[in-house]
């Protein structure tokens, strides 16, 4: 009889969304993995790159249009300033539960020993170089290199 392994060995978490609600969940997954002693890599691709791009990192917004979970009518969600206001509200709520800000959270996750990687296709597309990304980014890698690093891990796409 075979027994299942007690824990996961490694997770490779892909971050492809650039909204506040798109970025926190994969950060929590990667950070939580490290807290459990599980290895973790974060791979930022497409708009997810905003979370590790210097000039964008502080301006991550909550999506107020096309976000039914917010229970806000689409016509209202599109009003000028709505996304900024809802983002401020959400950040205030999160602060009460001691959520770190996105810049602080990414840096903390790097400090846990997780690998922070940017997708080459996306950085090429957006015209970003290593200098445009925050210091804790280990490297800009291709999808092939991502898979090579992910050997033996569970890949989580968000």
Binding site for another protein (CB under 8 A): 28, 31-32, 34-37, 98-100, 108, 111-113
- Closer residue to another protein in complex, CB, 29/72: 29
CB atoms within 10 A of CB 20: 19
Contact 116, 42 (CB under 8 A): yes
Between 65 and 138, CB nearer to another protein: 138
Cβ 43 to another protein shortest distance, Å: 20
**Least CB distance to another protein at residue 136 (A):** 11
Structure tokens at 156: 């989580």
Sign of the dihedral through C-alpha 62, 65, 70, 76? positive
Write phi, then psi, for 139 (nearest 5 degrees): -170, 160
Shortest distance in whole angstroms from residue 93 CB to another protein: 14
Residue whose CB is less far from another protein, 99 or 126? 99
Our CB check for another protein shows the closer of 25 and 77 to be 25
State the nearest-atom distance from the C-beta of 32 to another protein, in Å.
Answer: 6
Question: Residue 134 in contact with residue 57, Cβ under 8 Å?
Answer: yes
Nearer residue to another protein within complex by CB, 111 or 135: 111
User: Smallest gap, in angstroms, from Cβ of residue 112 to another protein?
Assistant: 5
* H helices, E strands: number in the chain: 6, 5
Of 61, 62, 87, 65, nearest to 75 by C-alpha is 65
Supply the DSSP symbol for 19.
S
């Amino acid at each position: 009889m075979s027994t299942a392994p007690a824990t996961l060995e490694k997770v490779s978490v892909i971050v492809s969304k650039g909204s506040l609600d798109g970025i926190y969940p994969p950060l929590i997954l990667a950070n939580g993995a490290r807290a459990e002693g599980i290895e973790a890599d974060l791979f930022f691709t497409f708009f997810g790159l905003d979370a590790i791009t210097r000039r964008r990192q502080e301006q991550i917004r909550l999506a107020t249009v096309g976000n039914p979970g917010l229970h806000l009518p689409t016509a209202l969600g599109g009003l000028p300033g709505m996304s900024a206001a809802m983002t401020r509200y959400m950040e205030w709520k999160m602060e009460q539960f001691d959520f770190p800000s996105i810049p602080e959270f990414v840096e903390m996750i790097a400090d846990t020993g997780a690998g922070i990687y940017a997708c080459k296709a996306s950085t090429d597309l957006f015209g970003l170089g290593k200098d445009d990304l925050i210091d804790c980014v280990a490297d800009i890698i291709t999808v092939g290199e991502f898979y090579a690093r992910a050997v033996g891990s569970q890949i989580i796409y968000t």
